[in-house]
């Protein structure tokens, strides 16, 4: 799926009233799953690079949401997420320059942890503060 298609799908679901936190959480989990699967095929450097690029695109979308003027997240959370995004950007460059399966470990962990927070927030009552990362509905 291209970046443009993914962004349109995300915006379409959001416009239809879908829960952005759930969408983002599921996207992060799917990316983590694909990276983990790529690790099981260490000889497939092209496959590893493909999933790394997919994860990078996902984080680029998340960064855009965090930086959007209508992002309702507190400044501290936005800054923390942008710092994490910067780490991920640097890690992605290193992976694409020298694809090694073990380099995906930290990205898989980060994706799973952020997804866990987002998906936990989905189950909370609407007014409760919950870990989330951007957008007008306090999603990534």
Instruction: Tell me how far the alpha carbon of residue 85 is from its chain's centroid.
Output: 9
Instruction: Report residue 139's pLDDT band, with 50, 70 and 90 as the boundaries.
Output: low
> Nearest to residue 59, comparing CAs of 85, 77, 35, 78?
85
Percentage of residues in the chain having pLDDT higher than 70: 73
pTM score of the predicted model: 0.74
Q: What residue segments make up the domains of the chain, in order of their start?
A: 19-119
Token pair 């599921």 in the structure block, residue: 26
Mean pLDDT of 27-51: 94
Q: Which helix (H) or strand (E) holds 47?
A: helix 45-67
Architecture field, domain 19-119: Up-down Bundle (1.20)
> DSSP labels for 82-137?
HHHHHHHHHHHHHHHHS--GGGGHHHHHHHHHHHHHHHHHHTS-TTS-----BTTT
């Amino acid at each position: 799926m291209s970046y443009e298609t993914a962004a349109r799908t995300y915006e379409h679901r959001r416009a239809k009233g879908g829960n952005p936190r759930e969408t983002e959480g599921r996207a992060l989990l799917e990316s983590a799953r694909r990276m983990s699967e790529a690790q099981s095929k260490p000889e497939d450097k092209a496959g590893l690079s493909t999933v790394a690029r997919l994860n990078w695109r996902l984080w680029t979308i998340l960064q855009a949401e965090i930086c959007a003027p209508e992002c309702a997240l507190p400044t501290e959370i936005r800054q923390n997420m942008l710092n994490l995004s910067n780490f991920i950007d640097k890690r992605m460059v290193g992976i694409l320059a020298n694809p090694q399966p073990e380099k995906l470990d930290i990205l898989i962990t980060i994706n799973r942890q952020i997804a866990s927070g987002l998906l936990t927030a989905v189950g909370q009552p609407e007014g409760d503060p919950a870990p989330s990362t951007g957008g007008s509905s306090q999603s990534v």
